[in-house]
Amino acid sequence: MVVELYCRHSCPLREITIEIKDHDRQLIEMLVTHGGEFKCVLCRKPLVIHWVMGPTEHEQYEEQHARMSVNYQIERQRQIALTGFGSVSLACMHDALPAVSK
């Protein structure tokens, strides 16, 4: 399981992503024992959960965002070469793999 958490307090930490191995199903018991929440590693106040994903779902999410980032960078370089500016439309942020040239 992968959990992304956010510290909403006056604290330099913004987000933290943790990977949890809960093979022995101890997570819930440990959270209850320790107050039922994840604490910020910097300010020790409770963190807010952004999302929770299973390992397969998280891998697909990471791969999708990697493809989108590559498509954005390719389009940005293309626009800079064509116009001298790096403005791109949001349409280039699709998650299909770029075409491979032969």
E strands of the chain, at which residues?
Answer: 2-6, 15-19, 48-53
Q: Which stretch binds Zn ion (CB under 5 A): 7-15, 50-58, 75-83, 85-93?
A: 7-15
Say if CB 50 and CB 15 are below 8 A apart.
yes
Number of alpha carbons in the 13 Å side-chain half-sphere of residue 50:
12
Please report, as residue ranges, which positions from 31 to 70 form the binding site for Zn ion (by CB under 5 A). 40, 42-43
**Length reported for the chain:** 102
CB of 85 to Zn ion, least distance (A): 38
Q: Which stretch binds Zn ion (CB under 5 A): 11-19, 20-28, 55-63, 89-97?
A: 11-19
Residues contributing to the site for Zn ion (CB under 5 A): 7, 11, 13, 40, 42-43
